[in-house]
A and B are shown apart, each in its own frame.
Chain A
Amino acid sequence: DTAVSQTPKYLVTQMGNDKSIKCEQNLGHDTMYWYKQDSKKFLKIMFSYNNKELIINETVPNRFSPKSPDKAHLNLHINSLELGDSAVYFCASSQVASGLAYEQYFGPGTRLTVT
């Protein structure tokens, strides 16, 4: 029973293409996130959705567009891919209560390579 799942696990594509990554969580959480981990292993938040509403958008290029069709899903669409987009993208989820930060559960990651 995978808690947070992502597809695909690996994605190799050429510059200029458009691609999507899907994320699903079966934990009943109300908040989902996208993180990017670059080649130097630095993990940085990109977006967060709470109950399908965008609440964190960390100065990410507008080529990146998240979409949350429901609380259990958060997808990431990337237009006009660039070499610098190559990274591992992690989806995460958590339950927010009283504004406190609780454990975030991460998906296995999607390793994106742009050639």
Chain B
Amino acid sequence: RKEVEQDPGPFNVPEGATVAFNCTYSNSASQSFFWYRQDCRKEPKLLMSVYSSGNEDGRFTAQLNRASQYISLLIRDSKLSDSATYLCVVSPNTGFQKLVFGTGTRLLVSP
């Protein structure tokens, strides 16, 4: 079983749609959680950290369920510029920030 699992997609949605991505992780001792975004042939960039209480940043909402070892990302009012691969990322310890990446979910937003 992979440490971090995501549906690879692609998710094809029209502009303005709401789309949700899910991710599960296997290590119950994981301490930190993130969503990164990677555009085609570019480097990954942090989209947002994920906290137990849930957090929102503009059109993006992230949720963490430690009991189910499940992380979600909700994107509202999708824009063309949201087209990218979204990487679920987990840090399994409180040591030196070893990040474990999921394989990513590809989002395509069309006009």
Contact = CB atoms under 8 A, between A and B. Distances in A.
B32 A101 contact: yes
Given A42-B101, A43-B87, A101-B32, A96 B96 contact: yes
A50 B34 CA distance: 21
A63 interface: no
A57 B35 CA distance: 24
- Place the interface of chain B in its size category: 20 to 34
A99 B93 CA distance: 8
- Place the interface of chain A in its size category: 20 to 34
A103 B31 CA distance: 14
Interface of B: 31-32, 34, 42-46, 49, 85, 87, 91, 94-101, 103-104
Interface of A: 31, 40-45, 48, 50, 55-56, 90, 94, 96, 99-104, 106-109
